[in-house]
Amino acid sequence: MTRRTAEAPICWGIFREVEHSPRREADDAGILRATGSRLQEKGFAVAYSTPASLTGRERELPTLAFSMCEGLPALESLLRWESRGVCVVNGARSVLDTHREKTIPLLENRRIPVPESRILDCDGPLPRGRAEEGLFSACWIKQATGHKTREGDVLFAADPASVRGALDRLRNRGLSRAVVQRHIEGDLVKFYGVAGEALSGEQEPPTSWFEWFYPKEHPAAGHPFKTQRLCEIASRAAQTVGLEIWGGDAVVTPGGEIFLIDINAWPSFALFREVAADRIAARLVARVGRLMRVAV
């Protein structure tokens, strides 16, 4: 990586692929550009790039890449950049680890509350037994990699026959594995978060900003729960995967229990764009500052 001493650190903002965020392109671009504007105000030189243009641009790399991309070709390029010392946020490996087939075992190992889940081959035999009978009586079938981007990515099933049908539909779309996850009755909540800086002696950085809301397309009963508990669960999940800028979904049961449904990298923050951009930029400035101290 070319060392720049007299110039401001070069930061590249990398947009998300359209296919990974249909109908949300404007919101995604909005938070990325808002973050870039904050960095420029702080004296950083900022440029923007599409995921498709990352390959072959390795002769002079940026100091920092703040990236929303999720496609494998772009993430492979970012992995190479990281190996050459570029600070990438979110890290490419952490984005890959948000794929459900990787995330679920990681969360279960950390004892983070998630619904009962099974990873199945779409073309394999459907497991049979008392446990499966209970699971298949009310469950969601989801693609094992990536997140919902179109209709049919997440399907509800209420018996083994409908589970089999959902697996076949995913297989016909070229997907080899799926996650079967128990349905949890309750209120769906969405959350956003940005990692903070670790204090002296702390192993896990605290969350510097956290917000949650009920999505308007899922009317909520308003089951009471502890916001601090939701923040703790979501933050631990993000730390487990390695995300610094994150969002996700959880379900709150009538009894106030919280189950994590999904954790994902750098959402659009559409409802909180301005404050989120402030917090994200502060995180990125801190990361670049740490990188510069190490370089010296």
Summarised one tens digit per residue, pLDDT across range 168-210 is 999 998 889 999 999 999 999 999 999 986 544 455 556 789 9
Q: What is the pLDDT of residue 207?
A: 79
Q: pLDDT band at residue 288, thresholds of 50, 70 and 90?
A: confident
Cβ-based neighbours of 34, under 8 Å, separated by 6 or more: 273, 274, 276, 277
Asked whether 103 and 263 are in contact (CB, 8 A), the reply is yes
**CA nearest 121: which of 107, 101, 104, 139?**
101
Q: What is the pLDDT of residue 2?
A: 39
* Token code pair at residue 70: 């999720």
* Token code pair at residue 137: 């009586």
> Hey, where are the domains in the chain?
10-90+272-295, 116-182, 187-265
Phi and psi at 5, nearest 5°, equal -105, -45
* Token code pair at residue 168: 């076949």
Beta strands in 122-244 (DSSP E): 139-143, 154-157, 177-182, 187-195, 207-213
Q: What is the pLDDT of residue 232?
A: 95
From the DSSP assignment, how many helices (H) and strands (E) are in the chain? Answer: 8, 12
Phi and psi at 38, nearest 5°, equal -65, -40
Name the one residue in this structure whose structure tokens are 């075992």.
105
- The helix/strand/coil state of 168 is helix
Q: What is the pLDDT of residue 146?
A: 67
* Token code pair at residue 265: 């990298």
**Greater pLDDT, 130 or 112:** 112
Summarised one tens digit per residue, pLDDT across range 234-259 is 999 999 999 999 999 999 999 999 99
**101/99 Cα distance (integer angstroms):** 6
User: What is the CATH architecture assignment of 116-182?
Assistant: 2-Layer Sandwich (3.30)
Q: pLDDT band at residue 224, thresholds of 50, 70 and 90?
A: very high
Question: Does residue 266 register a pLDDT over 50?
Answer: yes
Q: What is the pLDDT of residue 35?
A: 98
> What ranges in 46-159 are assigned the alpha helix state H?
72-83, 92-96, 100-109, 130-135
Q: What is the pLDDT of residue 4?
A: 41
Phi and psi at 231, nearest 5°, equal -60, -40
CATH number of 10-90+272-295: 3.40.50.11950
Asked whether 138 and 154 are in contact (CB, 8 A), the reply is no
Asked whether 247 and 21 are in contact (CB, 8 A), the reply is no
Q: pLDDT band at residue 291, thresholds of 50, 70 and 90?
A: low
